[in-house]
Amino acid sequence: MNYAPTLTMTGKVGIVSGAGTGIGAGVALAVAELGAAVALIGRRADKLAEVAATIRDMGGVALECPCDATHMNSIAPTVASVRDQLGEIDFFVNSAGVNIQQTTLDVTEEAWDTVVDLNLKAAFFWSQAVAKAMIGAGHGGRIVHISSQMGAVGFAKRAVYAASKGGLVNMTRVLALELADAGIRVNCVGPTFVDTPLARKMLEDPQIAAQVMPRIPIGRMGSVDEVAAAVVYLLSPGADLVTGHHLLVDGGWTAQ
């Protein structure tokens, strides 16, 4: 028995959405460093180009696919282009997401649609398209969604965000059940507040920092690398028996 499954991803092909910044960029760099050829999905072509350049500088293979993940008519052509240019798809990491902070009484229909369309609707239909490609190739695969600790617990001013992430977690469970026979494992990673420029700016507000930091028992935000490490594990052979799981990378937030 092999007690130390490899993390090497040489020869693998994957798609990472939300790959221009933050967690998505970190995941793309991590899988590329491990040898995977990676297609980068995101709205900002300039940010995708920066990530792709870093991957190529390290000797990796990156394909820039700028598009709006919420545009349903872009999904099938993008997946087909990835298969044509990089080969059959082994994994998909869905990191595209958005949050609009509003109290329950202030939530607008526009805000609801913006958050749910990207965090949940787009996540499903990209997963559907990738799963069809994987089944067509006949070799199984991995799908990992970046959820949130808010997919497991609530927090003020996040009614819509928590609804979308909670839905994403339960959707993941159903996809895992339905795609198991095809050899496709489907999981979620649920980070706490992660040290990105956006989060750092938000926590400059003393009131917000006072609400957030005491809830993290280890006493700090997470890092992009720590979230990427959890994703890499779920993509690795060591997670062959793991599917339908929500892996919380939250510093203990949800343990209390």
Q: What is the pLDDT of residues 144-200, one digit of tens each?
A: 999 999 999 999 999 999 999 999 999 999 999 999 999 999 999 999 999 988 888
**114-133 pLDDT, tens per residue?**
999 999 999 999 999 999 99
Phi, psi of 117, deg, nearest 5: -60, -40
Residue 6 confidence class, pLDDT cut points 50, 70, 90? confident
CATH for 132: 3.40.50.720
Start-to-end Cα distance in the chain? 37
Whether residue 2 has pLDDT greater than 90: no
Report the pLDDT value the prediction gives residue 1, as an integer from 0 to 100: 61
Is 207 within the bounds of a domain? no
- In the structure encoding, which two tokens stand for residue 143, read together? 């799908």
Is 53 within the bounds of a domain? yes
Number of domains in the chain: 1
**Calpha distance 250→234 (Å, rounded):** 16
In this structure, what DSSP letter does residue 215 have? G
Q: What percent of the chain clears pLDDT 90, i.e. is strictly above it?
A: 93
| Average pLDDT of the chain, as a whole number | 96
In this structure, what DSSP letter does residue 239 have? G
Report the pLDDT value the prediction gives residue 4, as an integer from 0 to 100: 77
CA dihedral 69, 73, 79, 81 (to 10 degrees): -110
Is 48 within the bounds of a domain? yes
Is 213 within the bounds of a domain? no
Q: Which domain, by its residues, includes 165?
A: 13-194+224-249
**Calpha distance 73→210 (Å, rounded):** 43
Is 175 within the bounds of a domain? yes
Whether residue 18 has pLDDT greater than 80: yes
- Which residues does the annotation mark as catalytic? 161
